[in-house]
């Protein structure tokens, strides 16, 4: 059982090793959500996520013999870096078992902190089973990613901080995977502020906590891929479920597209880089999942920022396309000199910049004297794209397709 005193002790224990992250007010998100919204920026921690809090609290309590043997864990990434960082501070060996699907950025980040990496399985749960085998074989101390009282207490220090940083909070919105973060925050916040609502957000593809709370017992789900890989957990914790069931007001889910849009919004409007798991709370707020929060003071925990750069590039590309700032238009023109120049002139006349152009004389449903041309345009929104398409048609150019179709 975890008591409030455990969280206070954890705060004293790890205080000199972690960064007390800001709880920043966001004018932009307050306007977009209709709330007085603050962001608890745990993506600014040294390892890029909140996870080092729980890892430090656990490892700093190990005895000499346990430290001599070392620690092991399984993680989709952020907990791995937290354990590696904490073990490095204490000068002990750390072995990390990571799913083979873990983003390269998290693998490299963990390795650079001095941990030994073993890639195994396609999910956290498979990596966890492998780590348990190695723990039994070598006698390591296992540092669970979320289902450990010391880890939960360490994560709860976020709750102690945010109630000091923001006056008169009505609700705290927290990402949910296995439940360690939201359990710790709920225990910390509810002790002194029982009227504050704690709301969890999961990826729509893996609503393990939502289903377990509804059923009243741990419900294992099939693993699923999600851009919120940090909360990609198919089985919630035995310690965390009772806490969440008792103290969390509601759990909502968000889709992959909604998570991607939130990452884009945080990056562009807040100049804050969040990974998928770190952005789910903002995604839920932007989609108005909790209509009862309108006009209230809300703290959203941005739990991490360790996103794979190739994924981020795809999210940005998709976001620009969805906003109509990058558009794709396919046209059919006469296969003769000057046709491409006419397209360029018409695009320029309407203030569109051609980013890329591809000509295909062998496209299906195109005559022998015609050519298919695909334009990638930098545009100013959907209305601007429609204006350009109308202008092309007005000048006798056949528009075969566009990304607004």
pLDDT of residue 93: 97
**Mean pLDDT over each residue of the chain, to the nearest integer:** 94
pLDDT at 308 over 90: no
Torsion of CA 176, 10, 243, 247, to 10 degrees: -80
Using pLDDT thresholds of 50, 70 and 90, give the confidence band for residue 123: confident
pLDDT of residue 77: 78
The residues annotated as belonging to the active site are 51, 303
Using pLDDT thresholds of 50, 70 and 90, give the confidence band for residue 281: very high
Out of 75-84, 212-221, 327-336, 348-357, least confident range? 75-84
pLDDT of residue 122: 86
Contact (Cβ atoms closer than 8 angstroms) between residue 389 and residue 352:
no
48 has which bridge partners? none
pLDDT of residue 401: 84
Backbone angles phi, psi at 196, to 5 degrees: -75, 130
pLDDT of residue 104: 81
pLDDT of residue 131: 95
Mean pLDDT, rounded, for 86-101: 93
Residue where the block lists tokens 């693993």: 223
State the Cα–Cα distance between residues 373 and 370, nearest whole angstrom. 10
First CA to last CA across the chain, in angstroms?
Answer: 56
Contact (Cβ atoms closer than 8 angstroms) between residue 121 and residue 322:
no
Say which residue, 171 or 101, is predicted with more confidence. 171
Please, what sign has the CA dihedral across residues 39, 43, 46, 50? positive
pLDDT of residue 101: 82
Using pLDDT thresholds of 50, 70 and 90, give the confidence band for residue 141: very high
| pTM (predicted TM-score) | 0.91
Question: Which residues, other chains included, contact 399 with Cβ-Cβ below 8 Å and sequence gap of 6+?
Answer: 329, 330, 331, 389, 392, 393
Q: What is the pLDDT of residues 330-368, one digit of tens each?
A: 999 999 999 999 999 999 999 999 999 999 988 878 888
Tell me the CA distances in angstroms from 138 to 110, 278, 375, 400, one per residue in order.
21, 34, 59, 64
pLDDT of residue 363: 83
Q: What is the pLDDT of residues 9-34, one digit of tens each?
A: 999 999 999 999 999 999 999 999 99
Domains of the chain: 1-322 (3.40.50.1100), 324-402 (3.30.70.260)
Selection from 129, 133, 145 nearest residue 58 by Cα: 145
Question: Which residues, other chains included, contact 270 with Cβ-Cβ below 8 Å and sequence gap of 6+?
Answer: 26, 28, 29, 39
| Percent with pLDDT over 70 in the chain | 100
pLDDT at 212 over 80: yes
pLDDT of residue 1: 80
Question: Which residues, other chains included, contact 191 with Cβ-Cβ below 8 Å and sequence gap of 6+?
Answer: 4
Selection from 109, 98, 186, 112 nearest residue 145 by Cα: 98
Contact (Cβ atoms closer than 8 angstroms) between residue 296 and residue 314:
no
């Amino acid at each position: 059982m975890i008591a409030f005193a455990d969280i206070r002790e954890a705060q004293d224990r790890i205080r000199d090793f972690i960064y007390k992250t800001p709880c920043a007010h966001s004018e932009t998100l307050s306007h977009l959500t209709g709330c007085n919204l603050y962001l608890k920026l745990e993506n600014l921690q040294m390892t890029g996520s909140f996870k080092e809090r729980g890892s430090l609290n656990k490892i700093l309590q190990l005895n000499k013999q346990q430290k001599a043997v070392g620690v092991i864990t399984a993680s989709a990434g952020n907990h791995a870096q937290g354990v590696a960082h904490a073990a490095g501070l204490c000068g002990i060996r750390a072995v990390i078992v990571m799913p083979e699907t873990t983003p390269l950025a998290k693998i490299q980040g963990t390795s650079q902190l001095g941990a030994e990496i073993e890639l195994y399985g396609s999910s956290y749960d498979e990596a966890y089973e492998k780590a348990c085998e190695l723990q039994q074989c070598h006698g390591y101390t296992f540092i669970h990613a979320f289902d450990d009282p010391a880890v939960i207490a360490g994560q709860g220090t976020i709750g102690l901080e945010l109630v000091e940083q923001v006056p008169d909070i009505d609700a705290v919105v927290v990402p949910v995977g296995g439940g360690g973060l939201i359990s710790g925050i709920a225990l910390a916040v509810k002790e002194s502020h029982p009227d504050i609502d704690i709301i969890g957000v999961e990826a729509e593809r893996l609503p393990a906590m939502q289903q377990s709370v509804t059923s009243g017992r741990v419900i294992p789900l099939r693993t699923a891929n999600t851009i919120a890989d940090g909360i990609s957990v198919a089985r919630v914790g035995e310690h965390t479920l009772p806490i969440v069931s008792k103290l969390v007001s509601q759990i909502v889910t968000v889709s992959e597209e909604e998570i991607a849009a939130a990452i884009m919004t945080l990056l562009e409007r807040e100049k804050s880089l969040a990974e998928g798991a770190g952005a789910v709370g903002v995604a839920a707020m932007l989609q108005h999942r909790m209509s009862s929060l309108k006009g209230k003071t809300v703290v959203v925990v941005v739990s991490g920022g360790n996103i794979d750069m190739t994924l981020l590039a795809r999210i940005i590309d998709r976001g620009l396309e969805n906003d109509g700032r990058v558009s794709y238009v396919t046209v059919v023109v006469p296969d003769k000199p000057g046709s491409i120049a006419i397209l360029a002139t018409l695009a320029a006349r309407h203030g569109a910049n051609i980013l890329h152009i591809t000509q295909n004389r062998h496209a299906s449903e195109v005559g022998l004297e015609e050519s298919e041309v695909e334009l990638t345009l930098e545009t100013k929104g959907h209305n601007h794209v429609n204006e350009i398409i109308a202008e092309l048609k007005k000048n006798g150019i056949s528009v075969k397709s566009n990304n607004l179709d």
